[in-house]
Amino acid sequence: MPQDTRKPNNPTPKEWLAKNLSQQYIADYKPFNFVDGEGVRCSLYVSGCPFKCPGCYNVAAQNFRYGKPYTQELEDQIITDMSKDYVQGLTLLGGEPFINTQVCLKLCKRVRQEFGDTKDIWSWSGYTWEELQKDSDDKLELLSLIDILVDGRFLKDKMDLTLQFRGSSNQRIIDVKKSLADRQIVIWDKLVK
């Protein structure tokens, strides 16, 4: 059987903008899970991702109209769920959170308003840290509100199921607050492998 050599799509800076692509749909919401970051998390899966990484584990969520529209009722439920003492934080995945900034910014701002820094925010993105630094203001604003970024496209030829919170070895787990303060990438200090 021939090896799959397809690669993900690669954007130029500011090529993919939320205002042009996002339909503000949600693929899924999973409260109280243990797999999308450290501790017990409330995970929001946004819809739409033009990276289209071959081997993506969530192909359905690549469609910008998959699932259902984001609603105030869903946001209120997420905040209620996050108010539980045992919930460590919010996770944004998808789809591509940084192309769904209308939804993700609204939710992250509310999380910060309700909980300050007592709950953390993780996000997965096909964008690399370096790409986000050259992109649109909404992406940079979202980045400033999160604590941990798992960056980079999933690359099937670098797939490693033993990696902590990552699917392929090119992806990094970045401490966003420290990286922004130091103006250089700081890897999460709890990285095992």
Sequential DSSP letters for 113-143: HHHTTSSEEEEE-SS-HHHHHTS-HHHHHHH
Domain ranges of the chain: 18-182
**Domain 18-182 classification at class level:** alpha beta
- Residue 15's CB is within 10 A of a number of other CB atoms, namely 12
Contacts of 174 (CB under 8 A, 6+ apart): 129, 148, 149, 150, 151, 185, 186, 187, 188
- Could you read off the pLDDT of 122-170 as tens digits, one per residue? 999 999 999 999 999 999 999 999 999 999 999 999 999 899 999 999 9
So what's the pLDDT on residue 157?
Answer: 92
So what's the pLDDT on residue 47?
Answer: 98
So what's the pLDDT on residue 89?
Answer: 98
In whole angstroms, how far apart are CA 69 and each of 3, 16, 75, 90, 123? 37, 20, 11, 19, 20
In whole angstroms, how far apart are CA 70 and each of 46, 47, 60, 74, 124? 9, 10, 17, 7, 19
So what's the pLDDT on residue 161?
Answer: 86
- Could you read off the pLDDT of 61-108 as tens digits, one per residue? 999 999 999 999 999 999 999 999 999 999 999 999 999 999 999 999
pLDDT at 3 over 60: no
| Residue spans of alpha helices (H) in the chain | 18-21, 72-82, 101-115, 129-133, 137-145, 176-182
pLDDT at 55 over 80: yes
